[in-house]
Amino acid sequence: MSTENEGTAVPPAPSAPPVPVDIPAASPQHPAHAPAYAPTDDDPTAQMPVTPPGAPGTPGAPGQPPHAPGAPAYAAANSQGGSPGAAPEGGWPPPPPPHAYPEPGAGGPGDGSGWGTSYAQPAPKPGGRRGGLLAAVLGAALVAGGLGGGIGYTLAKGDDTSSTTVSASDSGGDLKRDAGTVAAVTAKALPSTVTIEAESSSGEGGTGTGFVFDTEGHIVTNNHVVAEAVDGGKLSATFPNGKKYDAEVVGNAQGYDVAVIKLKNAPSGLKPLTLGNSDQVAVGDSTIAIGAPFGLSNTVTTGIISAKNRPVASSDGTGSQASYMSALQTDASINPGNSGGPLLDAKGNVIGINSAIQSSSNGGFGTGQSGSIGLGFAIPINQAKYVAQELIKTGKPVYAKIGASVSLEDTSGGAKITDTGAGGTDPVEAGGPADKAGLKPGDVITKLDETVIDSGPTLIGEIWTHKPGDKVTITYERGGKTDTVEVTLGSRVGDS
């Protein structure tokens, strides 16, 4: 599915993937009559197209309806020096597919790049700074009586000399929000969320969201939110009370699309958001998303969990590497700028990090930046927590692996171990997990534990929900026969 990195989604087993979400830049030169909240091509966040794993006409696993006309699908990727569509160690780092999402002319930012829409770089403002949002403020006059905070009525006597007015008993007083209501959850969570501004050394950048992870000042967000500032750029985080702090990148994981930054001169009394258990989330559970869509900081939206384990592939905007996730899908409104923000359950616990959205191909508000159509995707917090803790400890991500290269081509039958690895390496790492388990080039992996695997990207995303050392059961096909084998996952440190 696509999201603003808010990223590209890979169909569930099978289904379709999404794009990443950063804040679109605003142009102060917009005419006064321009549409309100009109995103521009210099939006800092790029939308990623959906990438269903099925072959043309078969976007998903057997039994699923064909992919909707016009919806982007996973493009075949050619590994450097290897056979087409091959990716090392479970597909990482995979080369970007040759096709862009959406197709050229569809209005999506980043046309011509791989893995969906590329991360949109806002055009530099005067002075080399970009970002911001021009929004027309529309006023509406309330003409009819009885509209507003109080409801009442007037009983007029025949002589019109007196009247009786009935008002709400709590009119003008403080309203107490019951625990568990959206208002109560929001009041508690908002003070621990921040709007992040990232700027590269050349002055380009964008906006995203993050949330307080611990009392030491660590903030968790998406990698694609801070990618511009990783090498010598500038970072800042602004709380809802208006206090702004400079920050630095502690570590970033491109494959997971997770990053940790730390506030400089962090204030005392920081209240980390409570982390929930994303494994216990059920379809239909209520969700609350907090972020800065299109630059509108501290925005709260609600919805439900629409699906779980949705395969999603997205780009960090550089066009060189992709990230994979087995995402939580929600219909809470998520737009560019929501990236990195918390997805909460009804009790205010963080269950995911908003990362990508599936969007229509014609853009939003008549521009190239599409908005929410009710298909948002979040990185499950159980996975994000593990990644964040590793980044705080060592500054580098640790990935689970099977030690085999798999095809990234459009298929619906599973993840095929390629005949040649990336860069001419062996497709099955000698002495690696797959080798020890007896897997060979040409084997087609169709299940990992009880999860159906319909493509290489789906397999990668599912492997990365595990930790090195975990034992998994792999079902595969060879020579027309199906067999299973237990594999102990290995590890790889870093993104390179």
Predicted confidence band of residue 371 (pLDDT cuts 50, 70, 90): confident
Q: Give the mean model confidence (pLDDT) for residues 123-130.
A: 41
User: What pLDDT is stored for residue 320 in this prediction?
Assistant: 54
User: Is the pLDDT higher at 110 or at 240?
Assistant: 240
Most confident of the following: 39-43, 210-214, 357-361: 210-214
Query: What local confidence, expressed as pLDDT, does residue 434 receive?
Result: 95
- For residue 46, is pLDDT > 60? no
Averaged pLDDT, 191-215: 92
| 224 is known as an active-site residue | yes
- Give 462-473 as a DSSP string: HHTTS-TT-EEE
In this predicted structure, what is the pLDDT of residue 167? 56
pLDDT reported for residue 165: 58
Query: Residue 79: is its pLDDT beyond 70?
Result: no
Among residues 355, 484, 388, 397, which one has the least CA distance to residue 92?
A: 397
Report the range of poorest mean pLDDT among 3-7, 352-356, 385-389: 3-7
**In whole angstroms, what is the distance from residue 85 CA to residue 458 CA?**
14
**pLDDT of 289 over the 60 cut:** yes
Q: Which of 257, 316, 345, 443 is catalytic?
A: 257
Please say if the pLDDT value at position 14 is more than 70: no
* Per-residue confidence (pLDDT) for residue 408, from 0 to 100: 84
Among residues 224, 316, 410, 454, which one is catalytic?
A: 224
- Whole-number pLDDT of residue 247: 96
pLDDT at 319: 55
pLDDT of residue 216: 95
Percent of the chain, pLDDT > 70? 60
pLDDT of 22 reads 45
Q: What does the mean pLDDT of the chain come to?
A: 72
Q: Which of 24-28, 256-260, 347-351 has the lowest mean pLDDT?
A: 24-28
Active-site entry in 339, 355, 405, 455: 339
- The dihedral of CA 471, 472, 473, 475: what is its sign? negative
Residue 6 has pLDDT above 70, yes or no: no
What are the pLDDT digits (tens) for 138-149?
333 233 333 333
Residue 163 is predicted with a pLDDT of 54
Q: Cβ-count burial of 269 within 10 angstroms (0-12 exposed, 13-18 middle, 19+ buried)?
A: exposed
Buried b / exposed e along 217-240 (16+ C-beta atoms within 10 A): bbbbbbbbbbbbbbeebbbbbbbe
DSSP string, 133-188: ---PPP-----STT-SS----EEE-TTSS-EEE---TTTTSPPPPPTTSHHHHHHH
What is the secondary structure of 101-129 as a DSSP string? SS-TTSS-TTTT-SSSSPPPPPPP-TTS-
Once rounded to an integer, what is the mean pLDDT over residues 150-163? Answer: 41
pTM listed for this prediction: 0.66
Eight-class DSSP state of 403: S
Let me know if 419 is a catalytic residue. Answer: no
Comparing 33 with 61, which gets the higher pLDDT? 33
30 is an active site residue: no
Average pLDDT over residues 53-73: 35
DSSP, collapsed to helix, strand or coil, labels residue 196 as strand
Count, residues in the chain: 496
Q: Is the pLDDT of residue 102 over 60?
A: no
Q: How many helices (H) and strands (E) does the chain have?
A: 6, 25
**Confidence at residue 204, expressed as pLDDT on a 0 to 100 scale:** 82
**SS3 (DSSP) at 91:** helix
pLDDT of the residue at 8:
38
Residue 134's pLDDT band, with cuts at 50, 70 and 90, is: very low
Q: What is the mean pLDDT of residues 82-102?
A: 42
What confidence score (pLDDT) does residue 421 get? 80
Q: CA 255, CA 316: separation in Å to the nearest integer? A: 9
How far is it, in rounded angstroms, from Cα 338 to Cα 315? 16
Residue 181, burial from CB neighbour count under 10 angstroms (0-12, 13-18, 19+)? exposed
